[in-house]
Amino acid sequence: MRVRDVMTTKVISVTPERPLREVAEILTTHKVSGLPVVGRDGWVVGVVSEADFLAHGVGPTRWESALARLFGRSPGSTKSSARTAGEAMTAPAITISPQAPVSEAAATMVGRSVNRLPVVEDGRLVGIVTRADLVRVFTRSDPELAAAVASEIAARTSISPEPGVLEVDVRDGVVRLTGTVERRSLAETIVAVANKVGGVLEVDDHLRWVDDDLRHRTIDPDHDTYFDAGGPSP
């Protein structure tokens, strides 16, 4: 599953010149905790959030004041005295591509301690994805999740799961993979792909392979017998 599959495309954004009072009203009215800040050219230049308003309310820290002096500005130019979205925003914005896997979005949010990611294409805002969007992925039914896993496997490996060849079954969010594929490396790729599908809790791997290309050996799938160039292995 990709970010484009879960993101919100009707994004509320503000310009850098938007007064903070109006930004606060937008956050409250629409019950969101943050907004992308977009320049006139459509590029995302930052994000203004509830955390930025909290920084505005506590006044400049010693560290902020020291930085202001270092760069030749007065402490009054820090976030604590901001009057517009551009002055209060956190920049540069942490963004993500609509083609990125949902797992990458989750890892970015956790690793960077953010609750939302503007989704950009060629630098321009096309959507937004939040932690709530990612949590909703885990509410899909088992049949929906099985279909998503099968679709992702087909897209990434050109193998379409089908009965008797490669089967995908899901129960309570746990994916069970069965069947026989040509190569061991392909089997491992299929497992990795399934693991990255949003909503998958665990992958129960029962795949078998004919050619152990990772060890340059071949297995008889009916008898679990390995063959090297010189014949069956002991």
Taking only the tens place, the pLDDT of each residue in 45-89 is 999 988 888 766 544 445 444 444 444 444 444 566 788 999 999
Specify the DSSP class assigned to residue 141: -
The reply to whether 170 and 88 lie within a common domain is no
For 159-208, the pLDDT digits (tens) are 888 887 899 999 999 999 999 999 999 999 999 999 988 888 899 999 99
- For the ranges 2-6, 8-12, 136-140, 201-205, the lowest mean pLDDT is seen at 136-140
The reply to whether 59 and 89 lie within a common domain is yes
The reply to whether 148 and 132 lie within a common domain is no
The reply to whether 113 and 223 lie within a common domain is no
CA atoms within 13 A on the CB side of 198: 25
**pTM (two decimals):** 0.62
Q: What is the mean pLDDT of residues 96-118?
A: 91
What is the band of 219 on the pLDDT scale with cuts at 50, 70, 90?
low
Q: What is the mean pLDDT of the chain?
A: 83
With a cut of 60, say whether residue 13 has pLDDT above it.
Answer: yes
The reply to whether 10 and 117 lie within a common domain is yes
What is the three-class DSSP state of 93? coil
Tell me the C-alpha distance between 197 and 192, whole Å: 9
The reply to whether 7 and 81 lie within a common domain is yes
The reply to whether 14 and 112 lie within a common domain is yes
Q: Please, which residues have CB within 8 angstroms of residue 16's CB and are 6 or more apart in sequence?
A: 37, 39, 45, 46, 84, 85, 86, 89
CATH value at residue 66: 3.10.580.10
Residue where a domain stops, chosen among 137, 157, 181:
137
CATH value at residue 208: 3.30.1340.30
Cα end-to-end distance, the chain, whole Å: 43
Tell me the C-alpha distance between 186 and 191, whole Å: 9
Residue where a domain stops, chosen among 105, 137, 169:
137
The reply to whether 82 and 122 lie within a common domain is yes
Residue where a domain stops, chosen among 106, 137, 168:
137
Q: What is the mean pLDDT of residues 109-133?
A: 92
- The tally of domains found in the chain comes to 2
Tell me the C-alpha distance between 151 and 88, whole Å: 43
The reply to whether 13 and 122 lie within a common domain is yes
Q: Which domain holds residue 201?
A: 142-232
The reply to whether 72 and 122 lie within a common domain is yes
